[in-house]
């Protein structure tokens, strides 16, 4: 029978006073000596019992161990989501800026618009660009949107550089960056509702069409234009078109929203609605950059152009919501075990290779939203592609035909009228030519007993005459065929069983006035 080893027993004697407790008591004595009398400090007995209440710090070897509570139990290891080992600023992870410009310059030919702009816009920030016309506000927004390329400097939008190879992957970036144009740029063949639906279908073709229509209707309701959803852009006022453009941009739920004069052509009531929508979008985590002639928004900072100075507005930044790369509430402590009665600041155990390859700071990532199943996304993609390519094309062509029907009818009538006039002119010309030709032709009938020699001699004499243009010999059969084509002579052949037309010579005279003279020369 094996002998069981004796269990270890904890010494009942009071443990040796630790160094940190002695230092705390000494500091307490010094503070009591120099502090004013109105300040009450804990008694010496309280400091003496501090070690009993908290516990002693165990001996530390070369390797950092997990700290223990006063009862000797091992403290719970924090979860990975608490950010152990990640650099923090005031307890929160430093997020990556949504837009960053480093020495950006832009010129059109010899005209320099922007020169050496350094700017950083955080995620979920409402930033405003103010300045007079021609100061470069629209140019700066177009640079951020990827429509233009800077002549110098670096431009980063959501971690992607637009200063080099700027067109590579630009379509994917623009799905996260929306632009509210100053001139609206609504499709004239689509009404207000279809303009928003079309933008949503291009933004994410895998979203079901029912959801897209619901989001488009909600966007129009947010700008008070649900009753005008069937109106085309030419039927809307300038302010209504601007509100539709704002609704289209907000319906896509972008990460970065660029607004170029969004309050143009609006009254005070509608301007207040648009201002509230943009500020609410910034509060929900969207980076909003607004360009305006004068300061109109509760922006955290304002860029003044052309002075290129960034000024703090003094307005409280909108409270960021989940999903904008910010941690709601600063984390307590410094990432180590709190509540264990020991001094914070001891680093957590790190692997030896972390000394060679340091940990890269990673911002907090919000949980991904639940996605539809693959088959539903595929079906929605096929249905939206069918609507975009075929149905929208047919609808656009039918509308073009309907809108152009009056013009097409007018053009058709003009073409018919021109064709009729052309046919009448051709007919008259031919009739005049026939009458002129018949009036200038002298037909010389030959006798039945005329010899070939006499016929040749007569033909040669007529051709030698300067008044004669041409001479043509007709046999009796040819004369009968021509007579059958002329009115009045076609029934002449029916009067006799034989051919009543003898051989003849058709003499064409140059001038009608010389017909009688030529006919008299060949008579007999």
Tens of pLDDT, residues 213-257: 999 999 999 999 999 999 999 999 999 999 999 999 999 999 999
pLDDT at residue 332 is higher than 50: no
CA distances from 83 to 330, 348, 363, 523 (A): 12, 11, 10, 129
pLDDT in tens, 250-302: 999 999 999 999 998 889 999 999 999 999 999 999 999 999 988 888 888 99
User: pLDDT band at 32, cuts 50/70/90?
Assistant: low
Q: Does pTM top 0.75 for this prediction?
A: no
**Residue 21 or 500, more confident:** 500
- Mean residue pLDDT of the chain comes to 75
Tokens coding 436: 């002129």
**Residue 425 or 39, more confident:** 425
Helices 238-251 and 192-203, axial angle in degrees (round to 10): 20
* Burial class of residue 177 in the structure, from the number of CB atoms within 10 Å of its CB (0-12 exposed, 13-18 middle, 19+ buried): buried
pLDDT in tens, 141-162: 999 998 999 999 999 998 888 8
pLDDT in tens, 483-501: 777 666 656 555 566 666 7
pLDDT at residue 61 is higher than 70: no
pLDDT of residue 319: 45
pLDDT in tens, 117-139: 999 999 999 999 999 988 899 99
pLDDT of residue 177: 93
Give Cβ neighbours of residue 140 (< 8 Å, ≥ 6 apart).
106, 114, 117, 129, 291, 305
pLDDT at residue 77 is higher than 50: no
CB of 427 within 8 A of CB of 503? no
Domains of the chain as residue ranges with CATH: 92-176+254-328 (3.40.50.300), 188-250+373-438 (no CATH), 440-522 (3.30.70.3040)
Q: How many CA atoms lie within 13 A of 52 on its CB side?
A: 8
User: pLDDT band at 90, cuts 50/70/90?
Assistant: very low
**Residue 15 or 494, more confident:** 494
Give Cβ neighbours of residue 41 (< 8 Å, ≥ 6 apart).
28, 31, 32, 35
pLDDT at residue 115 is higher than 70: yes
Give me the count of residues in the chain.
524
**Residue 100 or 361, more confident:** 100
pLDDT at residue 167 is higher than 80: no
pLDDT in tens, 372-419: 788 877 888 888 888 777 777 777 777 777 777 788 888 889 999 999
Average pLDDT on 183-204 reads 90
pLDDT of residue 419: 92
pLDDT of residue 400: 73
* Burial class of residue 522 in the structure, from the number of CB atoms within 10 Å of its CB (0-12 exposed, 13-18 middle, 19+ buried): middle
User: pLDDT band at 430, cuts 50/70/90?
Assistant: confident
pLDDT at residue 331 is higher than 80: no
**Residue 133 or 40, more confident:** 133
């Amino acid at each position: 029978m094996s002998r069981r080893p004796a269990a270890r027993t904890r010494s009942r004697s009071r443990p040796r006073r630790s160094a940190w407790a002695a230092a705390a008591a000494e500091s307490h004595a010094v503070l009591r000596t120099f502090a004013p009398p109105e300040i009450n400090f804990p008694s010496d007995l309280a400091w003496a019992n501090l070690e009993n209440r908290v516990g002693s710090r165990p001996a530390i070897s070369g390797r950092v161990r997990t700290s223990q509570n006063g009862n000797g139990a091992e403290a719970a290891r924090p979860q990975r989501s608490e950010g152990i080992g990640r650099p923090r600023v005031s307890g929160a992870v430093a997020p990556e800026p949504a837009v960053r410009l480093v020495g950006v310059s832009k010129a059109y030919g010899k005209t320099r618009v922007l020169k050496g702009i350094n700017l950083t816009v955080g995620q979920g920030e409402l930033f405003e660009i103010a300045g007079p016309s021609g100061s470069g506000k629209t140019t700066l927004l177009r640079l951020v949107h990827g429509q233009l390329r800077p002549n110098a400097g670096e431009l980063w939008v959501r971690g992607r550089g637009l200063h080099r190879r700027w067109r590579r992957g630009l379509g994917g970036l623009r799905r996260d960056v929306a632009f509210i144009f100053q001139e609206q740029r609504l499709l004239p063949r689509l009404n207000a509702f279809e303009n928003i639906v079309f933008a949503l279908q291009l933004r994410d073709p895998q979203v079901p069409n029912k959801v897209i229509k619901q989001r488009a209707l909600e966007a129009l309701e947010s700008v008070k234009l649900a009753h005008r959803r069937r109106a085309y852009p030419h039927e809307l006022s300038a302010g209504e078109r601007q509100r539709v453009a704002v609704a289209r941009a907000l319906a896509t739920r972008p990460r970065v929203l660029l607004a170029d004069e969004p309050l143009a052509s609006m009254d005070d009531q509608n301007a207040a609605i648009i201002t509230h929508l943009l500020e609410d979008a910034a509060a929900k985590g969207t980076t909003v950059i607004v360009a305006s002639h004068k300061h109109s928004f509760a922006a955290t900072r304002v860029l003044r152009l052309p002075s290129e100075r960034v000024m703090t507005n003094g307005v409280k930044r909108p409270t960021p919501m989940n999903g904008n790369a910010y941690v709601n509430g600063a984390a307590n402590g410094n990432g180590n075990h709190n509540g264990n009665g020991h001094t914070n600041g001891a680093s957590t155990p790190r692997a030896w290779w972390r000394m060679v390859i340091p940990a890269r700071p990673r911002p907090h990532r919000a949980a991904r939203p639940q996605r539809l199943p693959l088959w539903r996304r595929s079906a929605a993609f096929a249905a939206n592609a069918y609507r975009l390519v075929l149905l929208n094309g047919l609808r656009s062509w039918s509308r073009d035909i309907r809108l152009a029907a009056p013009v097409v009818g007018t053009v058709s009538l003009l073409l018919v009228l021109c064709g009729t006039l052309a046919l009448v002119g051709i007919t008259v010309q031919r009739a005049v030519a026939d009458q002129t030709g018949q009036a200038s032709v002298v037909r010389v009938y030959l006798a039945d007993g005329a010899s070939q020699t006499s016929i040749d001699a007569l033909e040669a004499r007529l051709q030698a005459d300067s008044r004669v243009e041409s001479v043509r010999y007709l046999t009796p059969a040819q004369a009968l065929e021509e007579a059958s084509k002329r009115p009045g002579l076609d029934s002449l052949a029916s009067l006799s069983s034989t051919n009543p037309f003898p051989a003849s010579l058709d003499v064409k005279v140059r001038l009608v006035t010389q017909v009688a003279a030529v006919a008299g020369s060949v008579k007999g």
